[in-house]
Amino acid sequence: MSASPAVPADQGLRRVIGDGSGVPDGDPGVGPEELLQLYRSLVLLRTYDERSVVYHRQGRIGTYAIFWGHEAIQAGAVHALEERDWIFPSYRESAIGLLRGIPAATVLSWWRGHPAGWWNPAEHRVASICIPIATHVPHAAGLAWGLRLRGEDTAAVVFFGDGATSEGAFHEGANFAAVMRAPLVLLCNNNQWAISTPVTAQTAAATLADKAIGYGMPAARVDGTDVLAVHGAVREAVERARAGDGPTFVEAVTYRAAPHATADDSSAYIDAERVEEARRAECLGRLDAYLRRAGVLTDAVAEETRAAALETMREGIAAAEAEQPGDASLLFAHAYADPPPALARDLDDLRRVTGR
Amino acid sequence: MTTATAVRDLTLVEAVNDALHTEMERDPAVLLLGEDVGRAGGVFRASAGLLERFGPDRCVDTPLSEAGILGTAVGLCMAGWRPVCEMQYDAFSYPCLDQLINHVGRYYWRTRGAMEFPLVVRMPYGGGVRAPELHDDSPETYYAHTPGVKVVVPSTPADAKGLLAAAIRDPDPVVVLEPKLVYRTARGPVPEGEHIVPIGRARVARDGSDVTLVAWGAMVPLCERAAEELAGEASVEVLDLRSLKPLDEEAVLASAARTGRLVVVQEAPRTCGFASEVAALLAERAILDLHGPVLRVTGFDVPYPYWQLEDLYMPSVERVVDAARRLLSF
């Protein structure tokens, strides 16, 4: 075991941000301007998430998968990429495209079940939101491998949760990526719950990162509430990928401090005290405190950042709600690039009956 | 569409190989991936010579990973490739249904047409080959039922080449089911060079006026034999659908108008089989042309049997002739 390139089980979690008293801060690895950019991304995602829960309660969006407390994993990874690198989100990262210029209205429309909720993955290098667990891991492996075959210097990162590591698609995607030496980062948000299934019921492995050993790929375990630790680990993984050394598994350990989704009542299965502990140690608060200790963040910048994020959301929900109802033709428009003739007949018939 | 003038006599599997060579030569974005497709040249030799000609980046021996093959093919499309995925056998393709249903048939729609997924899934399919369990299935219904996906089934060498080439060039995902029962016994003239058979057009394999046998894949030559058997008593048309989705509805309706009697033959189990779709089309749109019920000759709603019993399971000339006679005397 000690000869393995990946020996994560006995490796402590990578951390950079200290606690402001006994645990000192480490080297952030980035300068003050980039620290503030990370901060703005965290605030934007946090604001997106909190407003979305409100919008759901107001009946303005449908069922919503909450990612409160996981913003550091998302922002830390995205900031470790170049614009040309690809992102493959699961539904837990539904708003990650905001960090790549996708409008809030687009993602809100997606959660509103409106056909305006789409984007061109190639334009933003953000794949469509993946609902079925782990099934996008092979997509990311194929894209990364395919771009390498074309001689492009492009990496990809795929996001998934702890539960996803039990899926066959995770295994097939990870194995493919390793065999093909795809420039891919497999980023596992281990928040320790898959709806009501704890990670201890998900695997008998000591850590999820242990699984990397079986694929012959290195792994890192990081504190998922420490955006600088995530950023550093993903940046190193991307460097490996660019050097032609293949994929890396990064396990970002955190705790799900919110229900799985707005439709879930997690009080039925989760320990409220443990949730409170996670909420006290959440990622934005940790970064905020760190930046103030480092003299990078002021009250004025914090207030301005929060106000800008709130304004983005106000504009986003207004634009999403201003979308006209989708036309019946959209039922058929993009089922095929070259559709069977029967679809046009079906549309005519639908219009004849419904008058729409 | 055919630019070739010369023809060669090839078996069906040789025609598949010819199509792969021709299309990979024509378009450097075409890539074949699958189990044993490279070094071995495919367990049926369908990809023989491709590794030598195009190298390991375009003729890729993959891990044993059907869902991984189709899942990575989705990503390969996003990277600008036109992947052709080989599933080694019909029933071995079932693990890839997750990718097919959840993603392959939906991703173009999901991106509202911004990204195309021009991939091909091709596989040998069907029974009668004296093989162990799960080397005999006819899975066409699973594929044809999936929105966003097209399904073609050649029955002749020329169509095997032309439909596969059309599938590779098609902007949508296409599943190509190759009848392995006749991989080496179906032999015929195949145009050299580029050859396309448009997707969505059926073929009248034999003209007739009293009864139509509707079939696809290995059931087409079976129906031709049944038509011979009936030669003294009825004029039998054989309609080879070639494309299940899109279905050439006009060709089916035109045949119904000619004969008024139709028997649909498939080797898949009966319930919700594609024969039912053809029968429903006739019930909806040809009722006044029909002189009797639409009959189906199919496999049964049971697991595909041990091969010593498979001749009883598979539609036979005997069963097809019996159905045609019942219909003719209705």
Report, as an integer, the average pLDDT of B71-87.
98
Q: Which of A102, A139, A147 to mutate to test the interface with B (most CBs of B within 10 A)?
A: A139
Q: Which residues of B touch A336 (CB under 8 A)?
A: 108, 148, 150, 172
Q: Is B247 on the interface with A (CB under 8 A)?
A: yes
> Could you say which of B21, B103, B135, B291 is catalytic?
B135
- Contact state of A118 with B112 under an 8 Å Cβ cutoff: yes
pTM: 0.96
**Cα nearest neighbour of A116 on chain B:** B112
From the CA of B286, how many Å to the nearest CA of chain A? 16
Burial per residue of B292-321, b for 16 or more beta-carbon CB atoms within 10 angstroms, e otherwise: eebbbbbbeeeebbebeebeebbbbbebbb
Confidence band for B2, pLDDT divided at 50, 70 and 90: low
- Contact state of A139 with B103 under an 8 Å Cβ cutoff: yes
Give the nearest partner residue to A336 out of B67, B112, B172, using CB atoms: B172
Q: Catalytic: A55?
A: no
Report, as an integer, the average pLDDT of B186-215.
98
- Contact state of A338 with B245 under an 8 Å Cβ cutoff: no
- Contact state of B78 with A173 under an 8 Å Cβ cutoff: no
Burial class (CB within 10 angstroms; exposed 0-12, middle 13-18, buried 19+) of A306: middle
In the prediction, which pLDDT does A2 show?
Answer: 36
Token pair for residue A112?
Answer: 């509103």
Token pair for residue B42?
Answer: 């495919």
Full DSSP string of B3-59: ----EEEEEHHHHHHHHHHHHHHH-TTEEEEETTSSSS--TTSTTTTHHHHH-TTTE
In the prediction, which pLDDT does A30 show?
Answer: 96
Q: Would the ipTM clear 0.90, i.e. be above it?
A: yes
In the prediction, which pLDDT does B3 show?
Answer: 55
> Could you say which of A57, A84, A269, A345 is catalytic?
A269
In the prediction, which pLDDT does A246 show?
Answer: 98
Q: Catalytic: B135?
A: yes
> pLDDT tens for residues B26-39?
999 999 999 999 99
The tens place of each residue's pLDDT in chain A, 356 residues long, gives: 333 444 444 468 999 999 999 999 999 999 999 999 999 999 999 999 999 999 999 999 999 999 999 999 999 999 999 999 999 999 999 999 999 999 999 999 999 999 999 999 999 999 999 999 999 999 999 999 999 999 999 999 999 999 999 999 999 999 999 999 999 999 999 999 999 999 999 999 999 999 999 999 999 999 999 999 999 999 999 999 999 999 999 999 999 999 999 999 999 999 999 999 999 999 999 999 999 999 999 999 999 999 999 999 999 999 999 999 999 999 999 999 999 999 999 999 999 999 98
**Cα nearest neighbour of B63 on chain A:** A176
> What is the distance between the alpha carbons of residues A127 and A97, in angstroms, rounded to a whole number?
9
